[in-house]
Amino acid sequence: MSHKMSAETVAAAVTAATTALADSGPNENTQVAASTNSAEEALAKLLTQAAIPLENRLATSRGLLGWMLYFIASVILFVTRIFFWTLSLATITIPTLIFKILSFSLTLTLNFSSL
C-alpha cells in the first residue's frame, strides 16, 4: 500500500467530506456551506500547486528583477567563498605547513641504556 496520494484523490476526499458535512445537519447553514466550499477550493488549488515540482514553480514565477537579484546574490556568494578560502589558506594552512617543516628534527637522542 502506497502512502502517497495524488492531489485529485485528496481533493475528491475533501469534496466528499465537505458535502457530507453540509448535508448532515437538519439546520443547514448557508454560511457554513459557503465557507466549506471556499476552503475546499483553496485546498484543491493548493494541492494542485503542490503536485507541480518546486523547480518548475520557481522558474515560472521568477521575473527579470528576480533573475537580476539571483545573479547578484550568486556573485556575492562566490566572491565571499573565494575570499574566505584564500584567507584560511594564507592564515591557517600555509603557516601550519611551515611550522611542521621547520619543527621537524633529525637529531638522535641517546640514553644510557641505549649505549
| Shared-domain flag, residues 4 and 38 | yes
| Shared-domain flag, residues 71 and 99 | yes
| Shared-domain flag, residues 74 and 55 | no
Domain count for the chain: 2
| Shared-domain flag, residues 111 and 69 | yes
Nearest alpha carbon to residue 11 among 36, 34, 37, 43: 43
Per-residue pLDDT at 32 exceeds 50: no
pLDDT, one tens digit per residue, over 40-97 is: 777 777 666 666 666 665 555 668 888 899 999 999 999 999 999 999 999 999 999 9
Residue 109, domain extent: 62-115
| Shared-domain flag, residues 18 and 56 | yes
User: What cell numbers appear for 89 in the block?
Assistant: 589558506
| Shared-domain flag, residues 94 and 49 | no
